[in-house]
Amino acid sequence: DMLHTNVGEAVDEASARQRDHRYVWHPWSPVKETVGDAPILVSGEGYRVRDAAGREYLDAMASAMNSSCGYAHPALIAAAERQLSLLPHFDLSVGTHLPVGRVAERISGLLPDGLGRTLFVNSGSEATEAAVRIAHGYWRNLGRPRDRIITFAAGYHGTTLVAQHLSGLPTNVTHTLDPFPVTRVELPVPARELRAPESLAPLVEAFERAVLDGAPPAAVFVEAFLNVGGGVVLPSGFLRALRELCDRTGALLVLDEVFCGFGRTGRVFGFDHEGITPDLVTMSKGLSGGYVPFAALSTTEAVYRSFAADPLIGGLRYGHTTGGHAVACAVALAVLDVLEERKLVPAAAARGEELLAGLLPLAEHPEVADVRGLGLVATVECHRPEFAAGLVARARERGTLLRRQGCSVMAIPPLVIDRAGVAELVRTTGKALEDH
Ligand code: PMP
């Protein structure tokens, strides 16, 4: 149960709402004329958050899908405080600090052999930006420029211009500039049919056509599980086929592990289900558990060394002031300790099985098109987005925060959720469905 130690000062909910309405521009949100009723969160503990009115919620959104260790974790707070008082940061283009080397070593230990070189940035989008520029730069460095990138049309890789350019999701299409060619592969069958073994061949064929028709691609850039794209579980064998296709054509295989990475799918990385080794891996969310902004990109020594050929600085001309921030590195180290000590990756797999088994019966409801999941992320796909929105609203009234992506209602709790929490999540989602 939620402790009452970190509730903080009394909150005047009405004035907090007015202030927010007057001054804050919320990303990915409609412009509002009237004060809304979005939850105002003030504190959290474990997998629960508390709002300004003192109501508690089971957070099945894991904050911004990034809470791995839950809220108010003492070891994470202590790690941040200690590093803040020692040294908040130092410019990594000039010098270095201790936590960055330590966390790079730890990440390389979790990745397959060969992915030992890590660049640090602040957000998943920046990791995507860096990955695309590294893929382009790699081919330029070899003297055989390639710039085409192959993606899923339903993929999501972030929100900077380069990152958004990779996606074909309608809300992401801001293609006023065409900075480099992208071939965006449509799903050959609806998402709910995709996990079936029969969908493997048409999906692989679609990627083969994309790679082989046109200029040789610099990279194939995919998620192991399409999260924003609607909770799409890919057929077993797909990433292995993609690895083979990339080996055959030289294209770099980039895995976007921003969402899947660090346990979300029940393995450390989403691609671990397929036992492959990508050429580049991007990561963010679960790595710092939502405590501080942090992201990383790991690659091979071959890709790294190729940048010695850069004519101006003999290296990568990309980086941010706060990339590899020492406090973020220290927090990430503490997160990796917690994942290991509390065995949160196998726990995510076990809780995920309970969650999916609990939600599967909801597929019988006439408004529900499909229930599917992978690790600790479950998707209840509805036929209509309005119904999905209503389901999320009714679950919130019952004390559970769910996430909606289009027609899909997603349960993405922190990895620290226990059996009782999963049972509660299943119960309230079912009741919210019945309420209708
Ligand atoms: N890639 C994936 C798979 C994501 O889920 C996200 C965030 N939802 C991003 C990239 C972008 O990360 P950020 O929001 O930190 O820029």
List pLDDT tens digits, range 221-266: 999 999 999 999 999 999 999 999 999 999 999 999 999 999 999 9
Counting ligand 1 atoms within 8 A of each CB, the residue from 125, 160, 167 with the most, and so the one to mutate, is 125
Question: Can you list the alpha helix ranges (DSSP code H) found in 233-343?
Answer: 238-249, 285-288, 301-306, 326-341
In angstroms, the CA 341 to CA 44 distance is 22
Of 382, 426, 335, nearest to 58 by C-alpha is: 426
Chain centre distance of CA 143: 34
For ligand 1, say whether the CB of 403 is within 6 Å of any of its atoms. no
Q: Please state which of the ranges 27-31, 132-136, 262-266 shows the lowest mean pLDDT.
A: 27-31
Predicted confidence (pLDDT) at residue 9 exceeds the cutoff of 70: no
Ligand 1 atom nearest to CA at 295 = 15
- Percent of the chain clearing pLDDT 90 (strictly above): 93
Q: Please state which of the ranges 34-38, 56-60, 333-337 shows the lowest mean pLDDT.
A: 34-38
* Torsion angles phi and psi, residue 94, rounded to 5: -120, -45
> Given pLDDT bands bounded at 50, 70 and 90, which one contains residue 7?
low
Res 241: pLDDT: 98
Predicted confidence (pLDDT) at residue 6 exceeds the cutoff of 70: no
ipTM above 0.95, yes or no: yes
Res 1: pLDDT: 39
Res 3: pLDDT: 44
Query: Per residue in 65-99, pLDDT tens?
Result: 999 999 999 999 999 999 999 999 999 999 999 99
In angstroms, the CA 331 to CA 14 distance is 34
For ligand 1, say whether the CB of 223 is within 6 Å of any of its atoms. yes
- Percent of the chain clearing pLDDT 70 (strictly above): 97
Res 5: pLDDT: 45
Predicted confidence (pLDDT) at residue 4 exceeds the cutoff of 70: no
Averaged pLDDT score across all residues of the chain: 95
Res 208: pLDDT: 98
Assigned token pair, 265: 């799918």
Predicted confidence (pLDDT) at residue 176 exceeds the cutoff of 80: no
CA 125–ligand 1 middle distance (angstroms)? 6
> Given pLDDT bands bounded at 50, 70 and 90, which one contains residue 8?
low
pTM for the structure as a whole? 0.97
CA 10–ligand 1 middle distance (angstroms)? 34
Helices (H) and strands (E) in the chain, counts: 15, 17
Contact by Cβ (8 Å): 150, 220:
yes
